[in-house]
Amino acid sequence: MKKMLLLLSLWMFGPSLGAQVVTWSEDVAPIIFNRCTKCHRAGEIGPFALTNYTEAYNWASMIKYVTEIRYMPPWKADPDFGVQYLGENYLTDEEIQTIQSWVDGGAPQGDPALEPDLPVFPTGSQVGTPDLVLSFAESYLHEGNGIDEYRYFVLPTGLSESRDLVALEMRPGNNRVVHHALFWSDTTGTAAALDAQPPEYGCAFGQAQGGGQSDFGEQLPAYVPGARPNVYSHGMAQRLAAGSDLVLQVHYAPTSVDESDSSTVNLFFADQAATRFVRTYIMLPPSLVNGPFVIEPETKPEFHGVFRVPFDVSLLGTMPHAHLLGRNWRVFGVTPQNDTIPLIHIEDWDFNWQGTYYFRQPQVLPAGSEIHAFATYDNTSDNPFNPNFPPQTVTWGEGTADEMFYLPLLWLPYQAGDEDLLLDDVATTTESPIFHFNRTRLYPISPNPASGIVKLGYTLAESGPVRLEVSDSQGRLVRTLQRDGLRMAGEHVLDWDSATVAPGLYFVTLRAGGATQTQKVLVLP
């Protein structure tokens, strides 16, 4: 009888006794360091730091909540739309479950010796050491009158010769009120002349033009909180002419108290002359086939914009923009052969989280293709973000209570081979890579056990060749996922379809920097 009771106890409690305990050191730290710490550290946009166990433990419940509802990390593009982007920063279902299990289990630390090294981030930058730093000449006072403001500032570059810009990074002086910023290069002196007229610093010109894009030259990379600046590679850049002025349009959010701001802009130039120059086209309401852009009260209209591509182009990225009534975006290309090229889908638009999405590979559209952009708005009483109650008729405007249909598209004239170009495939041309890591590491595979698509992530201490392989339990090579390709220092994630191999135990091996690291993965039927 005693033996039977013992067997019954083992049957009832054995699984829980043998269940794996989710710990910070082994399971959660790799997720937080990869996805959160770049913003949640001293001097960055995150409201609190997540650089060690104590900091994460203090915010454990909040971390669980914001990841469960997918508010954090702030990545709005649909990962299942059919296109991949640089710097994708979303959590998988398995990673969210790992965080939830960790918090529900009391947020244990585990063995501190197993915690991965904290990435070593550049100080005062998310890119590295800038080639040119431009700062406000003085502080600007944004009045606490509850009204948002679009203010232009003109920063002379002082360039004696034209330079090829590969990255632009704004360092806002006051994160509480700087909502976003747009940039242009002006070679005419028009902006500087207008800026000199009013007595206060900066000016308010250009608002009727929807961002001033008709007043100046090519639009340069924009700033939004939480977005990592893109670094152009493969000989790509945007030209900053000698003697040009950098023009900023800063959107200051409404505030009830006076706030001052004195921001800085870091510019990074190519070490070698660029061979290709990035251009910008902005889809605006004149492109609508069902305009005008008027949103009546208690309606949920969908506006449809179309642009016909006049010659072969390679699209590098896009930046959908709307305000508080915006609900979703869906943008795709249709070729003359009626092939559909996905560009971006944002199902749950959020005015607080917006940015430019750069494609991992250029999206090639031949001449005669059409770019279709659908944007839906909710001007009903049921929209909790509606700035008007009761709802009012809303049209185009830059104010937060106005609305926008604004879609920049970054492009290059097509060159043979663009469709095979991997834009995160090489080291950047700046002095420093995007991120510095002090240890090359292959992260745990997720999900594991696997059935279908799994995420393979690793970080590199230095740029260099990388080989990523899959072997079976007998050590026989079954897949080469990356073959001695040059990869930049920093974080890398790729998908692998485990359904392409027979069920069983496999080893994923990373060979980089003279070191070899391996992770096991069990592939299910």
Which one of 184-188, 203-207, 432-436 scores highest in mean pLDDT? 184-188
Whether the domain at 278-423 and the domain at 437-525 fall into the same CATH topology: no
Confidence of residue 10 (pLDDT cuts 50, 70, 90): very low
Least confident range from 25-34, 164-173, 389-398, 488-497: namely: 488-497
Convert the pLDDT of each residue in 444-469 to its tens digit: 676 777 888 887 777 676 667 888 89
Convert the pLDDT of each residue in 226-274 to its tens digit: 677 888 988 899 999 999 999 998 988 888 888 999 999 999 999 889 9
Q: To the nearest whole percent, how much of the chain has pLDDT over 70?
A: 87
Instruction: Give the C-alpha separation, 165 to 245, whole Å.
Output: 14
Given a cut of 70, whether residue 125 has pLDDT beyond it is yes
Convert the pLDDT of each residue in 337-375 to its tens digit: 999 999 999 998 988 777 789 999 999 999 999 999 999
Topology classification of domain 437-525: Immunoglobulin-like (2.60.40)
Task: Please spell the DSSP secondary structure of 24-78, one letter per residue.
Answer: IIIIIHHHHHHHTTTTSSTTSSSSS--SSHHHHHHTHHHHHHHHHTT-SS---S-
pTM beyond 0.75: no
Least confident range from 132-141, 333-342, 364-373, 472-481: namely: 472-481
Confidence of residue 219 (pLDDT cuts 50, 70, 90): confident
Instruction: Give the bridge partners for 223, in sequence order.
Output: 181
CATH 3.40.140.10 fits 278-423, yes or no: no
* Beta-carbon count within 10 A of 117 CB: 13
Alpha helices, H only, 179-312: 190-195
Q: Enumerate helices (H) and strands (E) in the chain, giving the number of each.
A: 6, 28
pLDDT at 439: 52
What class is the 122-276 domain?
mainly beta
Instruction: Give the C-alpha separation, 63 to 68, whole Å.
Output: 8
Domain regions of the chain by residue span: 20-115, 122-276, 278-423, 437-525
